[in-house]
């Protein structure tokens, strides 16, 4: 029956996404270490599912740069170097600066929003994510911080009306966290080591003060890179 086939495809795609999300969380949580190898069969048995959605999920994560595919051994968690981290920061900085430039010249995402009501509504929600991220950063809770930080930037980038740009930035931010956690997880106390100026950035954007926003992001990038370089050197 056509209906049954369609439902099966939807179920498989949903399972595929759930497995991909779960494995991404395992990598970000440090439970899957850089260079760690595993097979489709092992993951399928771990989650109690068939091999097909697992294979599709692993291929998706490999395409996102989180895993590497090996024709004979299966998959391994990608190992990012400090140089990779520098490149990722540079790439995400260019994307974010492009957003600020769009804000300066009045991007199409702000069309039909002459008084800024819609954007302010979105930024209000983004600020709440930022408050949660700041609390987690101040407490040194890396797992909670990563979750709110990713949501913060995902929602912030949505106001510019370009889903491709938002998806690209999200991918870069996931990759930067994957690279960073392998070093940050070695510390027993992360208080004072993590960026916590999310709300300051939102407040600058509410004022349309892109100069201040650029300064905040620049300081964030410098702090993050200095921390990772120091930890990698140790």
Task: Give 101-141 pLDDT, tens digit per residue.
Answer: 888 876 555 545 556 677 788 899 999 999 999 999 999 99
* Cα four-point dihedral sign 128, 21, 100, 194: positive
Same-domain pairing of 179 and 210: yes
Query: Is 70 exceeded by the pLDDT of residue 79?
Result: yes
Range of the domain at 60: 2-77
User: Is residue 12 located within the same domain as residue 127?
Assistant: no
Contact predicate 36/182, CB 8 Å: no
Same-domain status, 95 and 72: no
Mean pLDDT of all residues in 78-82: 93
Q: Measure the CA–CA gap between 148 and 129, rounded to whole angstroms.
A: 6
Q: Is residue 13 located within the same domain as residue 108?
A: no
What are the counts of helices (DSSP H) followed by strands (DSSP E) for the chain? Answer: 9, 3
Q: Are residues 119 and 182 in the same domain?
A: yes
Residue 105 and residue 161 in one domain: yes
Measured from the Cβ of residue 20, the count of other Cβ atoms closer than 10 Å reads: 20
**Domain match, 69 and 102 both:** no
Handedness of CA 142, 123, 217, 175 (dihedral sign): positive
Q: Look at residue 16 and tell me whether its pLDDT is greater than 50.
A: yes
Q: Are residues 89 and 144 in the same domain?
A: yes
Euclidean distance between CA atoms 154 and 152, whole angstroms: 6
Query: Is 193 in contact with 187 (CB distance < 8 Å)?
Result: yes
95 lies in the same domain as 180: yes
What CATH number is given to the structural domain containing 35?
1.10.10.10
Q: To the nearest whole percent, how much of the chain has pLDDT over 70?
A: 90
- Please state which of the ranges 115-119, 210-214, 223-227 shows the lowest mean pLDDT: 115-119
Residue 171: both structure tokens together: 């991918």
190 within 8 A of 171, measured Cβ to Cβ: no
Query: How much is the pLDDT for 1?
Result: 34
**Within 10 A of 104 (CB to CB), how many other CB atoms are there?**
11
Which single residue is written with the structure tokens 């690209």? 168
Residues 52 and 89 in one domain: no
Number of compact structural domains in the chain: 2
Q: Quote the pTM value.
A: 0.85
CA angle at residue 207 from 205 to 209, to 5 degrees?
65
């Amino acid at each position: 029956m056509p209906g049954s086939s369609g439902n099966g495809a939807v179920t498989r795609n949903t399972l595929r996404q759930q497995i991909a999300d779960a494995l991404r969380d395992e990598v970000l949580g440090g439970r899957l270490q850089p260079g760690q190898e595993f097979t489709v069969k092992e993951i399928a048995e771990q989650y109690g599912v068939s091999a097909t959605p697992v294979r599709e999920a692993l291929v998706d994560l490999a395409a996102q740069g989180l895993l590497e595919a090996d024709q004979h051994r299966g998959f391994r968690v990608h190992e990012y170097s400090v140089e990779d981290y520098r490149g990722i920061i540079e790439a995400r900085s260019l994307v974010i600066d492009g957003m600020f430039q769009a804000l300066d010249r009045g991007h199409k995402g702000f069309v039909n929003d002459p008084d800024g009501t819609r954007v302010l509504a979105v930024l209000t929600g983004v600020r709440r994510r930022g408050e949660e991220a700041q609390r987690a950063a101040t407490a040194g809770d890396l797992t909670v911080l990563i979750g709110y930080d990713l949501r913060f930037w995902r929602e912030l980038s949505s106001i510019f009306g370009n889903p491709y740009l938002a998806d690209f930035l999200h991918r870069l931010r996931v990759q930067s966290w994957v690279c960073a956690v392998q070093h940050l997880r070695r510390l027993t106390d992360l208080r004072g080591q993590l960026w916590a100026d999310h709300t300051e950035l939102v407040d600058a954007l509410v004022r349309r003060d892109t100069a201040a926003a650029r300064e905040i992001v620049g300081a964030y990038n410098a702090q993050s890179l200095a921390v990772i370089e120091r930890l990698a050197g140790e």
